[in-house]
Structures are given as structure tokens and as C-alpha cells.
Structure 1
Amino acid sequence: MASQDDDLQASATEGYKIGEKKTVEEYAKLDQNDESLNRWKASLGISSSPPIAVDPKDQRRCVIKTLAMEAEGRPDINIDLTTPGSLESLKSKPFSIKEAAKFRMKANFVVQHDVLSGLKYLQVVKRKGIRVAKTEEMLGSYAPNTQEKPIYEKKFEEDEAPSGMLARGHYEAVSKFTDDDNKEHLKFEWSFDIAKDWK
């Protein structure tokens, strides 16, 4: 039986090699006359705008600020991760999802110090200890936040809750944000209930 850590490993693409790491300044100076490279750098937010000042003691490259669940016909469920105890309450206070409801998750985050390459979201959902779903979503690469882009927001692919009497009940999940270097930026456990209606 696979362990929780095995479940949360990102899949590897055969033949894919991670490029040489460069600083934001090195990327900004790289082949300045190459139009397609300049468009790629602009898509990452690498520009002449200076990065937002960060606390030099905070060495995190990616700081997840909030998570939210959007579903049509109801207010968003928002989790402010800057609030003490917010991660702990995700497991102990499950929220309900209406069966067959379509929903999507979104994350707001800050990148600091250096370019973040290949941010991924991994999630494993279990019911009564048995894995029922695994999600792996590529979120992209990002330059450190600037005054022009003080925070990044990424909406995930739309998902649909299971339905039917057998699908209703309590679920446990483990999620993490990682990158091309397999650096773990945030890992947390949470729980939810599939119910007949929103509560």
C-alpha cells in the first residue's frame, strides 16, 4: 500500500530536464534582443519594476496567503492562511460540498527572492483510509512580486463533487504545493463532507 508521501509525489515527465537556475537579474539581462524570450520573460512578470521588499529573515520563496473554493450559487469559502491556527482548523472543522456541485479552488500567493519554476498543486483524497482521488495541477512559473503584481491569483481546473447515497459522507485530504526542484512550499491536511445540500 502506498504511503501518504508516495501518494503526494509529482509525476515525472520522461526526458524533461530542469534548466539551469538563474536569478531574476540574470533573466532580465538574458538575450535582451530576443523578442520571443522577452515575451516569455514578460509573461513571468520579469520586468524593470523592482520586486516588493520582503523580510530578509523569511527565506520562503512561495508564500500561500489564501485558499478559496468557488461554487455557483453560494458565497466563496475563504481560508486566510496568515491567521494563526488556520491550517489546523482545516482538518478539525470540515466544510460541506453539495453532491454533484461544480466548484473550483483558487490560491493567492506571493513569490519572493527568486523565480519560482513549475509551481504544482498535489492533492490526495481518502475515504475510510482508501484513496479515492488524486489531483496534480501545474500552476506555472512566476517571478517575484512587484508593485505592478503585488499578489498572484491562480484558479484551478473546475471539479465536480461525486453524487449518490454511497458518495455522501466524510472525506480526508492531504494537499501540498511544490515546484520543479521538489521544494515543498506548503503541506496541509483538511477534511470535507459530501452532503445532499450546502450547509
Structure 2
Amino acid sequence: MADHHEDDLAAQRTEGFKVGEKKTLQEYQELDKDDEAMNRWKASLGLNSGEPIGQPTDPKCLIKSLAMVTAGRPDVVIDLSSPGAVDSLKNKPFTIKEGAKFHIKVVFQVNHEVLSGLKYIQVVKRKGIRVSKDQEMLGSYAPNTTHKPSYTKEFNEEEAPSGMLARGHYNAVSKFDDDDNNTHLLFEWSFDIAKDW
């Protein structure tokens, strides 16, 4: 599945941006201990609170669930820890009412080391033609601990297209990757734009 989506899902890069030097969790904790600004940054990442919960065999980043959130409607939640959940997404389309406003919410866990520059990239196609490509920067995160066992991030609000020409079936492919070009989740899914829910 990964190969034929690689070009479509290439992350947009900021010109002149260079990924920082990779450090272990202990190196981050020791870094500039007497620097107040650095200590505030480390605290914002949660680098010094609680015991790590990830196991050595766990992936660096585990996407636990995705949800489509629409005001006045129950959230549509996909529990990605269920066996086969990712594989079933392509063949079980969501229905989205034309013109509806919604946003995506993701719950994830970071293990072992600081995760730098987590981002979500999505390409949507209709009848094989790309109609949109979106990228959402989620940020950098310290490993989850007993104090904070997971992270939740809500994406920017979107509005579904509307009108007779917008209605129909769409295919999408999405991935979560980071500044080190690690892909943490890649999946295909589909949705239908309809006159009503």
C-alpha cells in the first residue's frame, strides 16, 4: 500500500528548516538544567513528570483512535487498537452531510524518546483524480508517562463540499509521520458526501 502513495503523501517542508540533533530522553532531561526558558520548554513537553509507560518493544508512536467530531452529533470513533480496524476503513465509508462542519480528533501515545514534528497528511481523490491535499502539524511530544498516559489533538475545522456536483464517493489516504521521516500510521479510507446524514 505504501509505495503508490509515496509521492502524494510527501510532507511539505519549510525552506531552510533543519531537524535538530537527536537526543535521548536522559540527554533532554540534563540539557541546560539551569536555563529557565529551557526548563519551561521541557515542562511543556512533560519531560520530568511521571514514570514512562511504554515498553521497549512498543512502537515510537502509537495512534490509538481517530474520531470525526460534528457539533450536535455523536462522534464517529475508530478504535485503532482493535484488530483489523485500519484494514476495514477503506471498505466502510463515512457519510458526511454536504456543507457540514467537522474536525478530526486523534488520541496517540509516544514511547521511548521525544517525538519531533508529528504531522498528519491526507490526500483525497474522487474517481482517481486528486481533489485535495492537507497537512496538519501536531507538534513535538515527550514519551507518555503514568502522569499523562496519552495525548489528544483536535485538528482545524473543515467544511464538507456542497451541491449536486460535490455529492458522491471519495477515497482518501492518510499518514502520520515525523521530522525523521518515520511513518507511524498509513491507511486508506473512504467517505460519501450526501444530501443528509
TM-score (norm 2): 0.96
State which drifts further: 12-21 or 165-174.
12-21
Pairs within 5 Å for 1:121-160: 121-160=120-159
Query: Can you list the C-alpha shifts for 1:15-44, whole angstroms capped at 9, x where unaligned?
Result: 111111111111111111111111111111
Please state if 1:98 is matched with 2:97. yes
Please state if 1:57 is matched with 2:57. yes
Does structure 1 conserve the Cα–Cα contact (< 8 Å) formed by 2:51 and 2:147? no
Pairs within 5 Å for 1:1-199: 4-52=5-53, 54-58=54-58, 60-198=59-197
Q: Tell me, which stretches of 5 or more residues in structure 2 are unaligned? A: none
Q: Tell me, which stretches of 5 or more residues in structure 1 are unaligned? A: none
Does structure 1 conserve the Cα–Cα contact (< 8 Å) formed by 2:63 and 2:108? yes
Query: Can you list the C-alpha shifts for 1:86-140, whole angstroms capped at 9, x where unaligned?
Result: 1111111101001000000011000001100000000000000000010101000
| RMSD (Å), alpha carbons | 1.0
TM-superposed CA distance for 1:147, in Å, is 1.2
TM-score (norm 1): 0.95
TM-superposed CA distance for 1:48, in Å, is 4.2
How many residues align? The count is 194
Letter in 1 for 2:21: E
For the residues of structure 1 that align with 2:49 and 2:62, how far apart are their CA atoms? 23
Counting aligned pairs with the same residue, the percent is 68
For the residues of structure 2 that align with 1:122 and 1:163, how far apart are their CA atoms? 23
TM-superposed CA distance for 1:57, in Å, is 2.5
Q: Which runs of 4+ in 1 moved over 3 A?
A: none
